[in-house]
């Protein structure tokens, strides 16, 4: 029996680090919005039956046009949910819009246009078996921790080097059994409503739910700053994605 999936694509952020008037999902790569590249890639995931686009209300019509331009398979339904005050609020709105027929949810950043399908397939298998798995890549650079400095200090300095062995950089999609992650989100809202998390696996960590790491290519990066657009264009030009 096939495992059915819903992808929750979070596209409601402020894009403050990018600057400019156009939010990241709608910036163009080779003439197409980043969101269109993202949706086209996710549309190839085996077992995908639904995409929930989490957007700001004022972006809803634009997001719908982009979804139509992505030429998704007819078997994939596109639904919408409103963004919330925090990312975790946006994701919970998306979870509540996910089809109860879906076994798994793939929670993905709209501004990651090149998710690696092979890694996603592996993560889906593992999440179905154990409950949770995320895409990630190993830390390769030397990691430094800064010293505590007074507010407004003009310079920063190194306090120590952090051993990189065992360190990973989390990516998306982060994949969970739908009923499990929904229950954990609701539990967080009930028990610690003011606690903020930066990714969905963090909620599993809070409640001691194991999460498997699935190694993924660094091409699955998040477009965050203006220079990232040039990197993404280069990946497409060189056919690396």
Nearest to 80 by CA among 10, 25, 23: 10
Kindly provide the b/e burial profile for residues 147-158, where b requires at least 16 CB atoms within 10 angstroms of the residue's own CB. eeeeeeeeeeee
Q: Is the pLDDT of residue 180 over 90?
A: yes
DSSP the chain: -PPPEEEEEEE----TTT-SSS-GGGSEETTEEHHHHHHHHHTTSTTEEEEEEEE-GGGHHHHHHHHHHTT--TT-EEEEEE--SSHHHHHHHHHHHS-TT-SEEEEEETT-----HHHHHHHHHHHHHHSEEEEEEE--S-EEEEPP--TT-S---EEEEEP-TT-EEEEEEEEEEHHHHHHHHHHHHHH-TT---SSTHHHHHHTT---EEEE--TTS----SHHHHHHHHHHHHTT--
pLDDT digits (tens, 9 = 90+) for 9-54: 999 976 555 556 788 999 999 999 999 999 999 999 999 999 999 9
Euclidean distance between CA atoms 210 and 87, whole angstroms: 22
Q: Does the pLDDT value for residue 83 go beyond 70?
A: yes
Global model pTM greater than 0.85: yes
> Which domains are delineated in the chain?
5-139+168-237 (3.90.550.10)
| Model pLDDT, residue 149 | 73
Asked if pLDDT for residue 79 goes beyond 90, the answer is: yes
What are the tens digits of pLDDT across the range 187-217? 999 999 999 999 999 999 999 999 999 999 9
Question: Given this model, what pLDDT does residue 58 score?
Answer: 94
Residue 1: pLDDT band (50, 70, 90) is: low
pLDDT, tens digit, 9 for 90 and up, residues 95-127: 999 999 999 999 999 999 999 999 999 999 999
At residue 129, the pLDDT reads 97
Q: Which of 3-12, 28-37, 73-82, 144-153 has the lowest mean pLDDT?
A: 144-153
């Amino acid at each position: 029996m096939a495992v059915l999936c819903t992808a929750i694509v979070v596209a409601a952020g402020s894009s403050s680090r990018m600057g400019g008037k156009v939010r990241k999902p709608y910036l163009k790569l080779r003439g197409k919005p980043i969101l269109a590249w993202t949706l086209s890639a996710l549309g190839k995931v085996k077992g995908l039956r639904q995409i929930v686009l989490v957007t700001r209300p004022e972006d809803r019509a634009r997001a719908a046009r982009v979804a139509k331009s992505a030429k998704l398979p007819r078997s994939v339904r596109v639904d919408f949910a409103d963004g919330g005050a925090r990312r975790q609020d946006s994701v919970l709105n998306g979870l509540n819009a996910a089809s109860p027929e879906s076994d798994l949810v793939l929670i993905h950043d709209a501004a990651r246009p090149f998710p690696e399908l092979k890694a996603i397939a592996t993560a889906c298998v593992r999440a179905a078996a154990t409950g949770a798995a995320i895409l990630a890549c190993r830390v390769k650079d030397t990691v430094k921790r800064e010293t505590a400095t007074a507010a407004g200090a003009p310079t920063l300095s190194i306090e120590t080097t952090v051993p990189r062995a065992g360190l990973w950089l989390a990516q998306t999609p982060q994949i969970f059994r739908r009923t499990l992650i929904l229950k954990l989100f609701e539990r967080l809202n009930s028990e610690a409503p003011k606690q903020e998390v930066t990714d969905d696996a963090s909620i599993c960590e809070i409640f001691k739910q194991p999460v498997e790491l699935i190694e993924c290519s660094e091409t699955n990066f998040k477009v965050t700053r203006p220079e990232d657009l040039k990197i993404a264009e280069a990946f497409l030009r060189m056919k690396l994605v």
